[in-house]
A and B are shown apart, each in its own frame.
Chain A
């Protein structure tokens, strides 16, 4: 029997993947439906000498992993709706201070305490626009266990590559679903190590001076280089500054380092897109239903295709525009009032050909739900 094949919940897959990626520090606060991640971390991290902290709230959880990351340890927290709302302040800090870390948000129905035990996908906009001030951010998602593993590792990799917090947006459905996962052998997925400065002790180290390729080598707290970290606009040493030139340079850097690399960051899967005349665009749990329908209809000769987005932000505008070009019409499938729909409409040349198939009652959208929408659009009646 293959020991790497497991039958576990999506939340547990996320833990396995974080360990694969080299996590050493986790801080969190219990909240449905993400709690299994904290529970598994509490059990697994000490076994490898890592640290698990149950903090007093989600605010301090994110603050603690930012602190741990500064000492050179790969760090993560996991939460859900209300907890993610509480994290916005520290998320902004991690963006501004350029601290690599991973925040998992296992989405439930909202707003407020909403539907703790039911799936929703209403946090897409919050991951992008939740914090005050201009910025850019990386948000990944996945619809099945193999991809949850992959995207969790990618989240750690992107965090290190771009010195930024990365949000992994899961949902209650996939988080609690059990299915097969074939844990990749060590080395099968490349890991990005922390880029540390080569500057020797006694020589001026600039923690916030990007190299030519845009990356910023770090120095761990506790090592030779002493510098300042702040959430204020700051110069290349990390000291506060309101010099307009420095402010302008920093905000451009924070946005550009992500937006200019959106092609490197874009992760997606195409199913039967090439010859499709009707396209579905979906992500997360909804993409499972969309794919179910696509495979079913293909067997009957219908030219239905699916673009599954795994990078939600920066929004893969070019990819979406490209696939929608030759399509009769496109239906975005999601469990909210059309958060990705808006982005797709902005991306394409003919927004009037983009429709929504959604479900907002806490239940997983079904292939039949999507099929009914397709029939309405095609004028066939349900």
Chain B
């Protein structure tokens, strides 16, 4: 199938701004699903609220556009009640880690087989540029007009600590790597977290003098390195990309199947 067979073409051009990284993530996701040869009937996408959340409207899957921060909770109900479905949950950074932070760590703790993609643009875009839990110290936002004094989460560290069994990071510049990691995340038998640094030229870029979309992609190229690169030793501020954790661990739906067997014996 072609990539366009996986989208709802009537909604294009999409609503994202020119140069928005979220479009690149959608693009890579569609290529990944195509490469894996997945059946649309088996695909479910559940999103929350925000710019990122609009992604579920564009894919021709079973799609659910839910509440701010709650996408993983809805998705948990879907996956538990029909474990054969492939459930992908794209989230914005505020969506995943502010209002949805609790759902995020608990989904990771359960190790339920779903793919959480944190589309990290370091800003609340839809509401017009307020700082997010991933904006970081010193960043400018409409609610941080004097510079942000909130520190940011490290999504990878958080996901690992919470128990996610596949944890990776990349950027919208590294598109081949992005497709590869999405495929790995989808096929992983457990809770997968993929953080994708995604440019928001409109709100983050403009307020933080980061330039336009092209400049922001160049920055991703320059300021990120593969895990284990020597460059990181010389320059600790560089952000690492790649797979941080990938491990076999009992998956929640399969554990529940075992629990059903136990309960039936007792009956």
Contact = CB atoms under 8 A, between A and B. Distances in A.
Interface of A: 24-25, 27, 43, 46-47, 49, 51, 53, 55-57, 59-61, 63-73, 75, 89-90, 93, 220-224, 226-232, 239-240
B41 interface: yes
B62 A226 contact: yes
B67 interface: yes
B80 A56 contact: no
A67 B65 CA distance: 11
Interface in B7-23: 11
Interface residues of B, number: 41
Contacts of A226: 40-41, 60-63
A226 B76 CA distance: 19
A71 B41 contact: no
Contacts of B80: 25, 51, 53, 64, 68
B73 A63 contact: yes
A63 B74 contact: yes
Contacts of B81: 24-25, 51, 67-68, 71-73, 75
Given A63-B70, A228-B63, A229-B65, A222 B84 contact: yes
Contacts of A56: 102-103, 106
A224 B260 CA distance: 28
B78 interface: yes
B64 A228 contact: yes
A67 B76 contact: yes
A221 B82 contact: yes
Contacts of B103: 56, 60
Please provide the 3 A-B residue pairs with the shortest distance between their CB atoms, ordered closest to farther.
A67-B77, A64-B77, A60-B73
Contacts of B73: 55, 59-61, 63-64, 67
Interface string B66-102: 1100101111111111101100000000000000001
B242 interface: no
Nearest to A93: B67
Contacts of A53: 76-77, 80
In this complex, the member of B76, B84, B259 whose beta carbon has the largest number of chain A beta carbons within 10 angstroms is B76
Given A55-B76, A228-B63, 13 more contacts: A24-B81, A46-B262, A57-B102, A60-B72, A60-B106, A64-B74, A67-B79, A67-B81, A68-B78, A71-B77, A71-B82, A72-B81, A221-B85
B54 to A, nearest CB: 9
Contacts of A24: 81
Interface in B99-126: 102-103, 106
B62 A63 contact: no
A104 B95 CA distance: 28
A176 to B, nearest CB: 26
Contacts of A90: 67, 70
A240 B57 contact: yes
Interface string B200-236: 0000000000000000000000000000000000000
Contacts of A65: 77
Contacts of A89: 67, 70
A70 B65 contact: no
Nearest to B40: A226
A318 to B, nearest CB: 36
Given A67-B46, A221-B82, A239-B57, A47 B62 contact: no
Nearest to A67: B77
Contact of A67 (B74, B102, B264): B74
A231 to B, nearest CB: 6
Contact of A51 (B62, B64, B256): B256
Contacts of B267: 47
15 contacts: A27-B77, A46-B256, A56-B103, A56-B106, A63-B74, A66-B77, A67-B46, A67-B73, A67-B74, A67-B78, A71-B77, A221-B78, A228-B63, A230-B66, A232-B65
B170 interface: no
B114 to A, nearest CB: 11
Residue among B64, B103, B256, B262 with max Cβ neighbours from chain A (10 Å): B64
A55 B75 CA distance: 12
B263 interface: yes
A75 B77 CA distance: 10
Contacts of B84: 222
B256 to A, nearest CB: 6
B74 A66 contact: yes
B140 interface: no
Contacts of B263: 43, 46-47
Contacts of A66: 74, 77
Contacts of B180: none
A161 to B, nearest CB: 21
A227 to B, nearest CB: 7
A61 B70 CA distance: 10
Contact of A60 (B11, B70, B260, B264): B70
Contacts of A227: 62-63
Interface string B114-152: 000000000000000000000000000000000000000
Contacts of A220: 82
Given A68-B81, A228-B64, A47 B46 contact: no
A204 to B, nearest CB: 12
Contacts of B77: 25, 27, 53, 63-71, 75
Contacts of B61: 226
A70 B78 contact: yes
B35 interface: no
A224 B41 contact: yes
- Which among B42, B44, B263 has the highest number of chain A CB atoms within 10 Å? B263
Contacts of B102: 56-57, 60
